[in-house]
Chains A and B, each alone.
Chain A
Amino acid sequence: MSGADFLNLVIAALLLAGVYAAMAVGMTVIYGVMKIVNLAHAGFLMLGAYFVYELYERGGVDPLLGVVLAFPVFFLLGVGLHRTLIRRLPVSDQPTLASLLLLFGLWLVLQNLGYLIWGNADRAILTPRTLSVLRLGPITIPTVRLVVFAGAAAALAALELVLHRTWFGRAVRALMQNRDAGRLVGVDVEGTARVAFGVGIAFAGAAGGMLAMLYSFSPDFGSPFLLRAFVIIVLGGLESFAGVAAGALVLALLETFSIQVLPASYQPAIAFSLLVVALAVLPGGLAGLWAGLRAKRRRWA
Chain B
Amino acid sequence: MGRLEGEEAPLGMTAAPAAAATAEDGGGGRSRSSRAAAAAARISPWLLGAALAALPLIGPGPNLIRLLFVTLVWVTASVAWNLLGGFGGQVSFGFAVFYGLGAYAAAVALNAGLDPVSSCLLAAGVATVASLAIGLPTFRLKGPYFAIATIGVSEAVRVVMTNVSATGGASGYRVMERGAFHQLQHFYSALGLAAGAVAISVLVRRSRLGLALVAVREDEDAAADLGVNPLRAKLLAHAIAAALTGAAGGLHARYAAYVNPQGEFAFAISVAILLMPIIGGVGTIWGPVIGACIYGLVHDEIIAAFPQLHLLIYGSLLIVIVLFEPAGIVGLLRRLVRAGDRRGRQGGRGGQEGQDGRGRAHAAAAP
Contact = CB atoms under 8 A, between A and B. Distances in A.
A184 interface: no
A288 to B, nearest CB: 11
- Most A-side CB within 10 Å, residue of B10, B11, B142: B10
Nearest to B316: A109
A224 interface: yes
A280 interface: yes
Contacts of A230: 148, 151-152
Contacts of A89: 4
Interface in A104-141: 104-109, 111-113, 115-116
B137 A276 contact: yes
A279 B3 CA distance: 33
B2 interface: yes
Contacts of A226: 151
Contacts of A96: 10-11
Given A107-B315, A108-B318, A283-B141, A92 B323 contact: no
A268 B91 contact: no
A113 B156 contact: no
B323 A116 contact: no
Interface in A221-280: 223-224, 226-227, 230, 234, 238, 263, 265-266, 268-269, 271-273, 275-276, 279-280
Given A92-B7, A263-B163, A85 B311 contact: no
Contact of A276 (B7, B11, B149, B159): B149
Q: Contact size class for A?
A: 35 or more
B137 A98 contact: no
Contacts of B162: 265
B152 A104 contact: no
B152 A272 contact: yes
B133 to A, nearest CB: 8
A100 interface: yes
B89 interface: yes
B319 A265 contact: no
Contact of A101 (B12, B149, B278, B311): B278
Given A85-B323, A227-B155, A268-B155, A112 B312 contact: yes
Nearest to A108: B315
Among B10, B141, B322, max chain A CB count under 10 A is at B322
B160 interface: yes
Contacts of A266: 159-160, 163
Interface in B233-285: 267, 271, 274, 278, 282
Contacts of A276: 137-138, 149
A295 interface: no
A223 B155 contact: yes
A211 to B, nearest CB: 17
Contacts of B308: 112, 115-116
Given A94-B142, A266-B163, A279-B145, A106 B319 contact: yes
B4 A280 contact: no
Contacts, number: 145
Interface string A77-98: 0000000010011111011111
A91 B7 contact: yes
A106 B315 contact: yes
Contacts of B323: 85, 88, 102
A37 interface: yes
Nearest to B314: A108
Given A90-B12, A105-B317, A105-B319, A227 B312 contact: no
A207 interface: no
A254 to B, nearest CB: 14
A224 B85 contact: no
A100 B147 contact: yes
A119 to B, nearest CB: 10
A108 B147 contact: no
Contacts of B30: none
Interface of B: 2-4, 6-8, 10-12, 85, 89, 91, 93, 136-138, 140-145, 147-149, 151-153, 155-156, 159-160, 162-163, 267, 271, 274, 278, 282, 308-312, 314-319, 321-323, 326
12 contacts: A92-B7, A101-B91, A105-B316, A105-B322, A106-B319, A108-B271, A108-B314, A116-B308, A230-B148, A230-B152, A279-B137, A280-B136
Interface of A: 31, 37, 39, 85, 88-92, 94-98, 100-102, 104-109, 111-113, 115-116, 223-224, 226-227, 230, 234, 238, 263, 265-266, 268-269, 271-273, 275-276, 279-280, 283
Closest 9 CB pairs of A and B: A108-B315, A105-B318, A97-B10, A112-B312, A227-B152, A109-B315, A112-B311, A272-B156, A105-B319
